[in-house]
Amino acid sequence: MAICEILTYPDPALREIAQTVDNPQSESVRQLVQDLADSMYDAPGVGLAAPQIGVFLRVVVTDTRWREEDGIRDLHVWINPEISHFEGEVVFEEGCLSVPGIYEDIKRASAITLSWSDQDGSRHEANFNDFQAVALQHEFDHLVGKLFIDLLPPIKQKLLKKRLQKRKKQALTG
């Protein structure tokens, strides 16, 4: 079991583009999935993308239910995910383990069609909606160096980023 440090804004690593996984069945990917799951449950969060622990591969774990259902775990692993269709609109209040303490209403597609590989290397396709669709869009954004605060209106975004940068500086110096 390895609980990894989760990188926080404005760490430049959060802006890196993750690479496609060549072999989902490899031991290194199995270990990465384990580390992501351990770190997500420890945080605690409902999703974690590999770049958030400084690994630039297209791997995400989610469990959007465990905190509501008496701690019963329902881990999902998404390797090389691709969203092929976006539909509708929904607003959810989002937060992120890489932007601690900030919660903002964010507008995203309410339904998505998604393909991904599992840990055996098989490819799947399915539709997701509402909270699950939102959580997956949020996590997959991390694979292209994007954070939920980038989706805020420009003025709000500018103020918030300024505040977060100041906070980080204080944490480093004080």
How many other C-beta atoms lie within 10 A of the C-beta of residue 35? Answer: 19
Q: What is the DSSP string of 94-114?
A: EEETTEEEEEEEEEE-SEEEE
Does position 59 bind Ni ion by CB under 5 A? no
What end-to-end distance do the CA atoms of the chain give, in Å?
A: 32
- In sequence order, what are the beta bridge partners of 105? 93
CB of 126 to Ni ion, least distance (A): 22
Does position 50 bind Ni ion by CB under 5 A? no
Does position 164 bind Ni ion by CB under 5 A? no
For Ni ion, the closer of residues 33 and 96 by Cβ is 96
CB of 1 to Ni ion, least distance (A): 22
- Residues in contact with Ni ion, counted by CB under 5 A, come to a total of 1
Active site residue 139: yes
Does position 61 bind Ni ion by CB under 5 A? no
Which sign, positive or negative, has the C-alpha torsion 50, 73, 83, 131? negative
Does position 96 bind Ni ion by CB under 5 A? yes
For Ni ion, the closer of residues 9 and 116 by Cβ is 9
Cis peptide before 44 (omega within 30 of 0): yes
From 9-17, 63-71, 92-100, 120-128, give the range in contact with Ni ion by CB under 5 A. Answer: 92-100
CB of 45 to Ni ion, least distance (A): 8
CB of 99 to Ni ion, least distance (A): 7
How many other C-beta atoms lie within 10 A of the C-beta of residue 17? Answer: 11
Q: Phi, psi (5° rounding) for residue 149?
A: -70, -20
From 33-41, 65-73, 80-88, 96-104, give the range in contact with Ni ion by CB under 5 A. Answer: 96-104
Q: Residues of 110-128 as b/e, b for ≥16 C-beta within 10 angstroms?
A: bbbebebbeeeeeeeeeeb
Does position 112 bind Ni ion by CB under 5 A? no
Per annotation, catalytic residue among 68, 89, 94, 139: 139
- Interface ranges with Ni ion (CB under 5 A): 96
**Where in the sequence numbering do the catalytic residues fall?**
139
